Structures are given as structure tokens and as C-alpha cells.
């Protein structure tokens, strides 16, 4: 439900969406499944058309806010290389990258990954971006 927390931060105080967010907050924990549409209709006293219109307006407002210049302030970027070879993993944090490799690309990491692997060439198999708390975290998962 991280998406909800993000939406709540940007739009939760808008009176138009307040009843919807109040209801959705009840389902915030990971143990709870998101509410069924019929449950939202009953709790909000709305019909399906009204709920869909509200959700569309919410989405459009979210897009407008997200693309504004100061929508989300990123203060720091963390870059982590996770290299796997012979069932061993090495995790290295680095200061910066000139470019982020694409999935499937082979990268040469001789100076960053210890020699114990016996290989300095790694193929990128996954890239994960996480944004939260003002930090953009990039994990680049690779194997030899």
C-alpha cells in the first residue's frame, strides 16, 4: 500500500477526496486486502458512476501534481551493485554512475568487485528503483 501513502501525502487533505481516503486508511496494513468496490460504494454512499468519476478525477489530479517541478524532493541517490558468481553475492555501494546499464548488458567491474569471483564481467539481470524518504535507491543486480 505504498502507493496509497504517496497519494495520501499529495491529495489526502483535499476535501473532495477526504471520505475516500478515510475509508482506504482502514486497509493500510499489509494484512488487509484492498476494499471491494461494493464495500466502498456502501461506505461512501455512492453509485458506481460517481465512484468511477471520483477515481478518474483523483488520477488526473495525481498526474498533475506528480509532474509539477517540486512534486517530490529527492535529496539523495544511493546506488548498489549486487553481483552474484558461483552462488556467492557481493554488494557494493558506489557514489555515482555516468550511466545505468540496461538489462542484458554486460559490464566490466574489475575495480569494484573483489577478485575472489574470478570474473570481472557481469550481465545485468534486474534493476530496481525505489523512491522514499527523499532518497532514490537504485539496485543493479548482476551475474557472471
pLDDT tens digits, one per residue of 91-124: 888 887 788 889 999 988 766 555 556 667 889 9
Residue 89's nearest CA partner among 14, 35, 143, 13 is 143
Calculate the CA 142 to chain-centre distance: 20
Residue 80: which pLDDT band, with cuts at 50, 70 and 90?
A: very high
Instruction: Give the per-residue pLDDT at 144.
Output: 80
Cβ-contact 54, 45 below 8 angstroms:
no
Calculate the CA 131 to chain-centre distance: 6
Span 76-86, average pLDDT: 87
Residues 80 and 95: their CA atoms lie apart, in Å, by 9
User: Which range has highest mean pLDDT (1-5, 14-18, 67-71)?
Assistant: 14-18
* Whether the predicted pLDDT of 20 surpasses 60: yes
DSSP three-state, residue 60? helix
Calculate the CA 140 to chain-centre distance: 15
Q: Please, which residues have CB within 8 angstroms of residue 97's CB and are 6 or more apart in sequence?
A: 79, 138
Residue 34: which pLDDT band, with cuts at 50, 70 and 90?
A: confident
Answer yes or no: pTM beyond 0.75. Answer: no
Cβ-contact 84, 142 below 8 angstroms:
yes
Residues 91 and 46: their CA atoms lie apart, in Å, by 51
Amino acid at each position: 500500500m505504498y502507493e496509497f501513502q504517496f497519494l495520501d501525502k499529495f491529495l489526502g487533505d483535499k476535501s473532495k477526496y477526504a471520505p475516500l481516503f478515510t475509508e482506504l486508511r482502514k486497509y493500510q496494513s499489509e494484512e488487509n486486502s484492498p476494499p471491494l468496490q461494493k464495500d466502498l460504494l456502501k461506505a461512501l454512499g455512492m453509485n458506481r458512476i460517481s465512484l468511477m468519476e471520483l477515481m478518474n478525477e483523483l488520477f488526473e489530479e495525481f498526474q498533475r501534481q506528480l509532474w509539477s517541478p517540486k512534486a517530490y524532493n529527492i535529496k539523495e541517490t544511493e546506488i548498489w551493485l549486487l553481483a552474484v558468481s558461483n552462488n556467492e553475492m557481493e554488494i557494493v555501494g558506489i557514489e555515482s554512475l555516468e550511466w545505468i546499464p540496461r538489462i542484458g548488458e554486460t559490464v566490466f567491474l574489475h575495480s569494484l568487485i573483489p577478485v575472489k569471483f574470478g570474473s570481472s564481467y557481469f550481465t545485468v539481470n534486474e534493476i530496481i528503483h525505489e523512491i522514499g524518504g527523499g532518497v532514490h535507491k537504485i539496485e543493479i543486480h548482476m551475474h557472471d
